[in-house]
Amino acid sequence: MATHNELGRWGEDMAAAYLQRKGYTIVERDWRSGHRDIDIIALDEDAVVFVEVKARRNRLFADPEQAVDWHKLNSLRTAANHYVKSRGIRQEIRLDVVTVTGCPDSEPLIEHIRDFQW
């Protein structure tokens, strides 16, 4: 597996563990709709939360959340819409972004942006 894929997988594992510690229930991971994907789908009380995870080794070039640009948001909207329709979801939905900065041999810095603006 390529190094960036390993970092991404580690970041998703760290984000999922973080969310579970915060009381979220993980429903799905790496859910796919065609070529689009949603990293984590979780429940937070009565809300269905679509979570985009951005992992970076450091913040030298940019903050990880800056990678959630218009194109990524559009892809997430489309995938989330498909998930909601295919599952008959009637609950509140929201998008959260979890950034994980570090590497597998260190303690990561995790930041959680609730209700990221679609």
> pTM value?
0.92
Q: Is 37 exposed, middle or buried (0-12, 13-18, 19+ CB in 10 A)?
A: middle
> How many beta carbons lie within 10 A of that of residue 3, not counting itself?
9
pLDDT tops 70 at residue 1: no
pLDDT band at 32 (very low <50, low <70, confident <90, very high): very high
Mean pLDDT of the chain: 93
Using the CB atoms, write b or e for 46-60: b if 16+ within 10 Å: eebbbbbbbbbeeee
**Structure confidence by residue, pLDDT tens digits, 54-72:** 999 887 777 878 889 999 9
pLDDT tops 70 at residue 6: yes
